[in-house]
Homo-oligomer: A and B are copies of this chain.
Amino acid sequence: MNNKLNRNEIEALLAKELKRFSEFKSKGLKLDMSRGKPCEAQLDLSQGLFDTLTSKSLVKGIQDYRNYGLIDGIPELKKIIAELIDVETNELILAGNSSLNLMYDSVQRAMQFGVLGHAPFNKQGNIKWLCVVPGYDRHFAVTQCFGIEMINIQMNSDGPDMHAIEIAITDPAVKGIWCVPKYSNPQGVVFSDAVVERFAKLKPAAPDFRIYWDNAYMMHTLEKTDADLMNILWAAKKYDNEDIVYIFGSTSKISFAGGGVAFIASSSKNIADIKKHMAFQTIGHDKINQYAHYLFFKNADTIKKHMLKHAKIIAPKFETVLNVLDSELKNLGFASWIKPRGGYFISCDLAKNTAKRAVQLAKEAGVIFTPAGSTYPYGIDPNDSNVRIAPTLPNIDDLTIAMQVFCCCGKIAYFENILKQK
């Protein structure tokens, strides 16, 4: 569309946005749109957790949960989580409050000790990892800190480019892949059954290749019904391939972001191997918090209903972001985004080579977005166009103005760029 505009017209549009920008700047805004944090009202939904235990409570199931022991977690909560993600209890370990910690530890364990009897990655020369992009910066930071070479795999509307993955894993140096299969971070893509099936039957050259299936948003719908994700562990079993996947998740965005319960699920063989090694690391995770979660949620159904309350709080925030994007950017045609059905983010692609500039401008106006590039390994977005927007934390008024700032900055960067090229 804007190719039809002449230099003067673009300069006029730019001047208009620059005027808006200086008005925004004069407001002294201090808004943070950078991290996928739940808001206070969401956290309040689980406040009842604090009433589950009192000084009169017996904190006891198969043993006194205040004491040491039970490295794989308490059976009461294991049963609920196992039902939610449809695995057997011997395919599951409940841990502390951080699934990132479980993922990091799994990579580190593979580096130092190897996977299921195979040689440690540390002794296998250059190690490579597939990264679905755009993706989660903290995933990429883990593999980067271990010096693992990261390879971009493009995300499509139904999941990652499986053809590219199938080719990449013919290289025995490729040992893993990061992915968020449901309501992906940041685009909100749900992997189709066909994609999950192709994952499930991957036959990588490396026998110690693992799919890091970070099901962080396993039931985090924004709608009245939750999307379906095929169970990859079951699918893999059909192909005698169940050792290929590590499933991660937590209640961080179900109960408390800072005090939930994280878990890892996998084949019973992988889980036994992980437990054996975990026993060097800890005598057991916090079973009291696990027990409080059990008492609060009681069963899988309650958790599902609980998630609809989350949706009710955050869906209007996503609407707000999408409305501002629609009204400010749709006609100009240079930006694109997907309306997610769940998860914590909206991914917006600005014009090529403008994301860094736009995010920098927004920062100058007091609105922090996740740094441009951070949705890609090494912080390098080859198009410099993707920005991750996290709508959950701010209130609607703040969101509105933050998104107006975002669109204004996106337009400024876009117009500047055209003028440079003319």
- Interface residues, chain A, with chain B CB atoms under 8 Å away: 35, 37-38, 40, 43, 46-48, 50-51, 53-55, 57, 59, 64-70, 96-98, 100-101, 104-105, 108, 111-113, 122, 138, 141-142, 145-146, 252, 256-259, 277, 280-289
Contact = CB atoms under 8 A, between A and B. Distances in A.
Contacts of A280: 104, 138, 141-142, 145
A104 B51 contact: no
B50 A55 contact: yes
Contacts of A100: 281-283
Nearest to A253: B68
Contacts of A284: 98, 258
A344 to B, nearest CB: 12
A65 to B, nearest CB: 6
Contact of A98 (B105, B108, B145, B283): B283
B288 A256 contact: yes
A38 to B, nearest CB: 7
Contacts of A68: 35, 37, 252, 257-258
A67 B55 contact: no
A48 B55 CA distance: 5
Contacts of A40: 64
Contacts of A287: 258-259
A257 B146 CA distance: 33
B282 A101 contact: yes
Nearest to A252: B68
Given A281-B104, A282-B100, A38 B67 contact: yes
B57 A50 contact: yes
Contacts of A43: 64, 66-67
B286 A258 contact: yes
Residue from A35, A104, A142, A280 having most chain B Cβ neighbours under 10 A: A280
Contacts of A113: 145
A208 B415 CA distance: 54
Contacts of A289: 259, 286, 288-289
Contact of A259 (B46, B66, B101, B281): B66
A250 to B, nearest CB: 11
Contacts of A285: 96-98
Contacts of A252: 68
Contact of A37 (B57, B67, B104, B112): B67
15 contacts: A46-B66, A51-B54, A51-B55, A65-B259, A66-B258, A68-B252, A96-B96, A97-B286, A108-B108, A112-B146, A122-B122, A145-B277, A258-B286, A259-B286, A286-B289
A252 B285 CA distance: 12
A257 B67 contact: yes
A56 B53 CA distance: 14
Contacts of A54: 50-51
Closest 9 CB pairs of A and B: A259-B288, A50-B53, A98-B282, A104-B281, A66-B256, A43-B66, A97-B286, A101-B282, A47-B55
A34 B336 CA distance: 63
Contacts of A111: 112
